[in-house]
Amino acid sequence: MDYLEIIGQQKLSGVIKISGAKNAALPLLASTILSANTINISNIPNVADIKTLLKLLGMLGATYKHDDTNITINTKTLNQTKATYEIVKTMRASILVLGPLLARFGHCEVSLPGGCAIGQRPVDLHLKALEQMGAKIEIKAGYIQATVDGALKGATIVFDKVTVTGTENILMAAALANGKTTIINAAKEPEVVQLCEVLKDAGVQIDGIGTNTITIEGSNKELLNFKPFSIIPDRIEAGTYLCAGAIANSTVRVQNVEPNHLDSVIAKFEEMGFVLSVDETSITIHPAHEIKPVNITTTEYPGFPTDMQAQFMAVATMANGVSIIDEKLFENRFMHVSELIRLGADITLNGTVATIKGTPNSLIGTDVMATDLRASSALVLAGLVANGVTKVHRIYHLDRGYDRLEEKLKNIDAQIKREQE
Ligand code: EPZ
């Protein structure tokens, strides 16, 4: 297994080009199951999760060409509808093939995604919504067995909790259903918005895009004609590299971003005393005279994203004072806390609330272990500013969602390299 070795205390400076958003590319790749034609997709991030989903689509019979950041895919040849445990256990977002497979073929078997480090992460809301659309759902030997006679039926779906992939699954199922579906309490993340826009461009009548109530007129199982599209920039990758600038109190610019996807993150940086300059496609963070503590509660978009919680906790260890972070979305998304404490951070947990007593320059490099995607990035950020050498182990978690992270950090003068255990 690989690990990252980081020599801390380096001033950073420079520009990082942000890749396409993993969490936009995954549902969009799954949506190609609904397509009658070959589709060209650009600005695909070069991350492990994309390769996993492509492998799954290939196993189902799709044909595709993947070169660097472009994918050409045709799912006309799809002839399987079983997503096996082997694939789903490596990436829970494989659940995103459930809606489109069921809508197109009237049957499918998808391994129940297990929990993961950050929480139990059930998919009950996905299944309940599909049943309301006429599907018969059975759980057998760890598999979701879904069937429907003819087309799924349009229905009014009220999500008891806002669910990003739940909204995406139902959007895709509704696109081929017979009649109108209304999703109430829909997720509004930019990644959900892009899925709506791509489906709309493919001829699906969708209203309420970007709001919490979305209506979809289904095609009654007629496959769609997708236009070529480019994946939106990854707002979480951008936020992570801005945190690198923040924690090292350096000037760093992230390029190829949609700044308005990061309004809540920018506001929290400014609360901490950092100065940010924003233009059409880039954001630059400048040093703070003094890094101030911050209070954060994670919530659905456009609120502060849970996927930025771990990274901001790392920055908060450098603040002068006590920060409070309340993680409202996932019940176990504090796996990075014990590792940050090993680096010398002063953090206490009480249920969903973390209290971080920040002291500038207080971290000391050592060996730490990554546990999940965003926790891993928080440990890398801490290593950038810790005194001495930090080794971050099990970085296969990082490789799932960050495209060439060490290369991008080296480009802004970080002393970081990938080694073999
Ligand atoms: C998506 O996960 C993202 N993944 C996550 O990013 C992100 O953290 C999360 O949304 C929240 O923004 C992708 O888009 C591939 P949810 P998702 O369904 O859809 C509960 C990353 O780092 N819930 O919005 O799985 C659930 O347990 C990943 O890139 C149910 O109870 O999250 C959670 O507490 C990590 N039943 C809350 O809702 C359900 O049926 C939000 O989950 C579905 C969800």
CA distance 34 to 368: 43
- pLDDT at position 125, please? 97
Residue 392 has pLDDT above 90, yes or no: yes
Pocket of ligand 1 (CB under 6 A): 23, 26, 93, 119, 121-126, 161, 163-166, 306-307, 329-330, 373-374, 401
116 catalytic residue (yes or no): yes
Query: Contact 326/356 with Cβ under 8 angstroms?
Result: no
> Which H/E stretch holds residue 98?
helix 98-105
Record the tokens describing residue 20, joined without a space.
Answer: 């396409």
Q: With bands split at pLDDT 50, 70 and 90, how would you rate the model's confidence at 118?
A: confident
Measured by CA distance, the residue closest to atom 41 of ligand 1 is 163
Q: Find the radius of gyration of the CA atoms of the chain.
A: 21
- pLDDT at position 329, please? 96
Query: Contact 328/299 with Cβ under 8 angstroms?
Result: yes
CA distance 381 to 258: 22
Q: With bands split at pLDDT 50, 70 and 90, how would you rate the model's confidence at 10?
A: very high
- pLDDT at position 114, please? 72
pLDDT, tens only, 143-164: 999 999 999 999 999 999 999 9
Q: With bands split at pLDDT 50, 70 and 90, how would you rate the model's confidence at 319?
A: very high
| 299-313 mean pLDDT | 98
Q: Is 325 left (phi over 0), alpha (psi -120 to 50) or beta?
A: beta
Residue 360 has pLDDT above 90, yes or no: yes
- pLDDT at position 286, please? 98
Compute φ and ψ for 128, nearest 5 degrees.
Answer: -60, -40
CA distance 3 to 418: 6
**C-alpha 265, offset from chain centre:** 15
Other C-beta atoms lying within 10 Å of the C-beta of residue 134: 18
Q: Which atom of ligand 1 is nearest to the CA of 301?
A: 12
Q: Which residue type sits at 214?
A: I
With a CB cutoff of 8 Å and minimum separation 6, the contacts of 85 are 111, 142, 143
Q: Which atom of ligand 1 is nearest to the CA of 124?
A: 40
Residue 61 has pLDDT above 90, yes or no: yes
Rounded percentage of the chain residues whose pLDDT exceeds 90: 95
Strand 282-286 vs strand 275-278: parallel, antiparallel, or unpaired? antiparallel
Q: With bands split at pLDDT 50, 70 and 90, how would you rate the model's confidence at 121?
A: confident
| 329-354 mean pLDDT | 96
Q: With bands split at pLDDT 50, 70 and 90, how would you rate the model's confidence at 20?
A: very high
CA distance 18 to 224: 30
Cα 373 to middle of ligand 1, angstroms:
13
Place of tokens 């490596």: 90
pLDDT, tens only, 201-233: 999 999 999 999 999 999 999 999 999 999 999
Query: Contact 62/78 with Cβ under 8 angstroms?
Result: yes
Q: With bands split at pLDDT 50, 70 and 90, how would you rate the model's confidence at 116?
A: confident
| 300-329 mean pLDDT | 98
Residue 189 has pLDDT above 80, yes or no: yes
Q: What is the mean pLDDT of the chain?
A: 96
Record the tokens describing residue 395, joined without a space.
Answer: 């970085």
pLDDT, tens only, 238-281: 999 999 999 999 999 999 999 999 999 999 999 999 999 999 99
Residue 77 has pLDDT above 90, yes or no: yes
With a CB cutoff of 8 Å and minimum separation 6, the contacts of 38 are 72, 73, 74
Q: Which residues pair with 137 in a beta bridge?
A: 146
- pLDDT at position 120, please? 78
- pLDDT at position 119, please? 80
Tell which one of 163, 192, 309, 373 to mutate to probe ligand 1, the residue whose CB is within 8 A of the most ligand atoms. Answer: 163
Measured by CA distance, the residue closest to atom 13 of ligand 1 is 23
| 11-40 mean pLDDT | 98
Nearest in space to 356 (alpha carbons), one of 298, 294, 303, 307 = 294
Least confident stretch, 11-25, 82-96, 308-322: 82-96
Strand 389-393 vs strand 367-369: parallel, antiparallel, or unpaired? parallel
CA distance 70 to 297: 36
CA distance 159 to 171: 13
Q: With bands split at pLDDT 50, 70 and 90, how would you rate the model's confidence at 397?
A: very high
Residue 418 has pLDDT above 90, yes or no: yes
Model's pTM, two decimal places? Answer: 0.97
Residue 115 has pLDDT above 80, yes or no: no
Q: With bands split at pLDDT 50, 70 and 90, how would you rate the model's confidence at 389?
A: very high
Measured by CA distance, the residue closest to atom 14 of ligand 1 is 23
| 343-370 mean pLDDT | 97
Rounded percentage of the chain residues whose pLDDT exceeds 70: 100
